[in-house]
A and B are shown apart, each in its own frame.
Chain A
């Protein structure tokens, strides 16, 4: 095939990279400003009531916990429970959501059940999990898994259904192997919804681990916060709240950034 023809090409779209860059800087400055305002608000509140510890005292208390090493056991327990719980939820939720999304029959059976069960406050099952796993990271992880499996499943199902129906046909016409069809068509096509599932699954797993730790735990940041509160050690309690907020924010922001990058490609 020769290509010695010239065709009128489409006009090129020139980038507005400079403008975009300055907008990013501006947005980040405003984000920082909002955070600073929130801390200031906290400081003002703490000076008006004894129920709120000051930011300085809280960060100080938190730093002490890190310095004497007593926080690590709790940090470990919480993060472990979130990680294990999330992994179990992902291992069950992704394949299950995928299968329900692909099959008309399974969709008809499970759609209303999943949608309905989504509304059940899953934490109500925690006493049962405690009986099964005993007090410890096992029960916390199971709680996180039980809670996170639903959003992961639902977004995976939605993702499969949103796939352009021509793409499986294209895969067949190009003789893709089943493995190639999944890795080269399904996973990349579904990537944005998979990321939504991961992000929401992570948040829900985290929330449920902390709630579960309030109930019964041997170690964990939730347990520590509750204990500090019981001992009226408000600076420690607020310090742990800051730590929890920081972990949630960092984790979610990282996932959100990945999600946005995938979204831009779409």
Chain B
């Protein structure tokens, strides 16, 4: 479904992503791993159509990302991005207006599960509550490709389990999830495929279980070995 071909993004002479090649297939959960500044967010933004690659191509269903791919890709950024005037209810209305795959009932149920209130203003939410809202809105889309950039940022340790289970419940044979995080411990148990990035480069990628067997260590240990 998604194919990055030598995708490169340069900013002011600095290369944020360097000749990244990657294929994403349905029915799997991908972990995009790496420390801050490794290029995970830039790569996700290129896939979401928010940033144009300086070189290389990003194809979705064999077409360059654009209007059509945005109908099928749900992206959750690491920063809050909803308009300040909005309430949680308005956010649901906005998604419903623009995304045909948005399930308002699922949104209402996730908002309830996350212990948020529909009438609350977005700008009055704490960072943890804002993070939960982003996840609820993004996962309420029945998108083919779901990109979650640092979904556990700002979430307390108790709520993390809830977020992880919500993410896993959203995964099915008809979609793919790409989750970027430096909190590898939390992702270890749910991922099918791991992609390690460092300073904009692809360091290693492969089936998570195969990696564990081949190297005789967990993804967490592998992460420590690569980045230590």
Mutual binders A and B:
no
